[in-house]
Structure 1
Amino acid sequence: MSTSTAALSAEWQVLLAVPTVTVGSLARADVPIEPGVYLWRRDGEVRYIGAASSLRRRVWAKLLGRGVSLGASSLRRNVCELLHGIPTTVTGGKSRQKVTPAQAAAIRDWLNGCTIAWTVCSSAADAAALEGRLLDEYRPPLNRK
């Protein structure tokens, strides 16, 4: 499903209209500390949507992390599978396999080539509810059921 489809709900339309920032040029201070919903795009297409109790902590520490453990980020695990063919069950399970530094760098480079947009919500519960409604309507390819 293309995110330009006119049939998308008003909530999707609002989120899609939020200005985007290139992830590679994003500064920590650019990301709000409040709860919210974030949207990752690559090549103009929505690839992932998530919710956070603190957008800054989630985006900066978990999604743009430099570590070789992917356990804290389903987005990074899914990008790893996309780029390296390593199943998310291997990098996210109880006996998580860490990736090599070169693989982690490739994941980070892929993410840095994306754009991100977010909307601030009044609470973490509101962010989670909005994320749920959006995912019920449209499941981007890097979001798994």
Structure 2
Amino acid sequence: MSDKLSVLFVCVHNAGRSQMAAGFLTSLGGDGVEVRSAGSAPADSVNKAAVAAMAEVGIDISAQTPKILTFDAVETSDVVITMGCGDACPVFPGVTYRDWALPDPAGQGIEAVRPIRDEIKSRVEALLAEFAVTDAR
């Protein structure tokens, strides 16, 4: 493992859960992490309710765009966190996998997205603690 922990968040559309997780990890992990997110069937844009929910906690994910999941992204990550992508996520030896069973915010209003956002933040904080990541800024 390099000096930075490389984490890939994967969900089907790469429009809600994985984008919020990437936003939190980027914000909380700072220079101690390399953050990627992708989807097995990316949407055209990031979920507006997810963007609004993250803005409420001071994290701007409005400029992010859903990206297609690639084998290279998985293979070059230390940790891959899946969020409902099922068998679409490739598995490589030597990569740590976690599955975060979280509700899909697609089609939900901000009231439904807030608790998902808060759960993601808690899981990202636990991930940083588990891998002893500190922001090197």
TM over 0.5: no
Larger radius of gyration: 1
| Greater RCO (CA < 8 Å, at least 6 residues apart) | 1
Q: TM-score, normalised by structure 1?
A: 0.25
Q: TM-score, normalised by structure 2?
A: 0.26
Q: Greater share of helix residues, 1 or 2?
A: 1
